[in-house]
Amino acid sequence: MTGKRTATSDLWWKNAVIYCLDVQTFLDTDGDGCGDLIGLTERIDYLAGLGVTCLWLMPCFPSPERDDGYDISDFYAVDEKLGNLGDFAELVRTAHDRGIRVIVDLVVNHTSHRHKWFQSARKGRDAAFHDYYVWADEKPEDEEQLVFPGEEKSNWAWDEDAGRWYFHRFYAEQPDLNTANPAVRDEIAKIGGFWLALGVTGYRVDAVPFLLEEVSGPEGEHKDPHSLVRELSAYLTRRRGDAVLLGEVNLPYDKAVEFFGTAGDELNMMFNFPVNQAMYLSLARQDTAPLAAALSSMPEIPTECQWANFVRNHDELTLDQLSDDERAEVFEAFGPEESMQVYGRGLRRRLPSMLSHDEDRIRLVYSLMFSLPGTPTLFYGEEIGMSENLDIEGRLSGRSPMQWSSEPHAGFSPAPDGAQLCRPLPADHSANVADQRRDPHSLLNWMERLIRQRRECPEFGWGELSVLHAEGPLLAHRCDWDGTSVLAVHNLGDKNATLTLKVDCEKLVDLLGTDDRDPNKKLTLKPFEYRWFRVH
């Protein structure tokens, strides 16, 4: 191993495989219809076998569930329907034993209206926690961006007890915290330190741009908003040297890159929303131009930082960075019915449904995502091709129970009645882990092989990107790092396509098959075919 690799080996997130799940929809062991921490712990070996190296848990804190657990009523506990802190500690211990780090959602933009801080804050201006929130005596005329348009009409809600208006970016049941208040910043640090002490390796930080907007307080008291993330990053790193902050920053590159910090001292990782949305436009058009443009416009980022790539995140498939006409194209291709769309900006569907369960196209998309520069992130069930359930309201359509077998309730729960399940299964829930394990040609077995190959190609995580070819349906890109190179070719079209790679090397070694290539000979890809090569 070279000195360069040794010096950077502690930046584990540069070549990780992240797997996101909701504990309550993963595996139920006590028959109450709700998944639990004990069930997840039982499936850690499954995740390890898949090749997962980092487990991202969606909120598992006590919550009234107005916003699927993102409305938190206690930051220092586990929701009792999922288990207790002892169960959580055992989960983390088991994951670490299998080489899997655990990160959890850090949701500190707001609290639930039932949180003890807000219940105290409502008692009046002199209440202990009143200044933890954002208040106004008169309802401001200027409105901020609503996260849930159509469900909320204003950012300001009246509280009868306090006799004042309070600010909320999300639901009215989620009053925003005032991050301009130093006491609130101290609380955020305490929350971060608490879960690190229980063994987590970091956090996925929810809605980072909203977190840093300081909408109240005397002008002279305002600090640099980015100082909150810098201070939190420094604090967590002092507590645990390999701690990571993975941020949700759905902004164009010129604004998003600011959240890495000038010296990589803010977020360590950030979801690559521009590439994700451009990818869907390219898929809809069978034209690589939008994706190639997004890749070419990716800004230079600090060495310590990383983009996180994904096919489908845990909310809707957001398309808000596309123009109205471009978004309409993607809607028409992958979700033409109004029931498939949400908030006018995204799709409620999972990938298999969007692609009419065409397995060639499904595998093409995951091959593309895993080979793009950055760290791949999976949402539970993607590895078996799970579908959504559009009968589930809003953004929760993609969060139906995990499908483990052909047994009742897809093996998710021993509950006697399907009505007891936390959420209903899709009408077609035939895709399951047990059956696909027995089929050597299944999506699950293919995904395991793809992940193994991706982990053996750190160039995709560390390397410098070069777009070699982007014309019509064909995209070829290369990643170079530490004297080694890999490249990938994808045909997004439904017809054969040919190109010559013109790479200066002896041969291209096929990483997903046995067809090694002369770099100067023409390469023909069948419809939706993909190839990975190592430059020899």
At residue 381, what is the residue type?
Answer: G
Q: What is the Cα–Cα distance from 3 to 235, expressed in whole angstroms? A: 29
Q: Which of 22, 28, 71, 248 is catalytic?
A: 248
Give the contacts of 221 (CB within 8 A, at least 6 positions apart).
Answer: 180
| Pair type for strands 54-57 and 18-21 | parallel
Q: Helix or strand or coil: residue 474?
A: strand
Phi, psi of 226 (to 5 degrees): -70, -15
Degrees, nearest 5: CA angle 63-65-71: 60
Task: Report the first-to-last Cα separation within the chain, whole angstroms.
Answer: 18
Give the span between the Cα atoms of 237 and 467, in whole angstroms: 35
Does 248 qualify as catalytic in the annotation? Answer: yes
Residue 320 contacts residue 276 (beta carbons within 8 Å): no
Clarify whether 428 is annotated catalytic.
no
Distance from C-alpha of 83 to C-alpha of 115, rounded to nearest angstrom: 20
- Tokens for 352, please give them: 């298999």
Q: CA-CA distance, 318 to 168, in Å (whole number)? A: 21
Using DSSP's 3-state secondary structure scheme, residue 96 falls into helix
Query: Could you give the maximum distance between any two Cα atoms of the chain, in Å?
Result: 77
- Residue 191: closest CA among 350, 59, 50: 59
Catalytic-labelled residue, pool 206, 265, 315, 529 = 206
Active site members? 206, 248
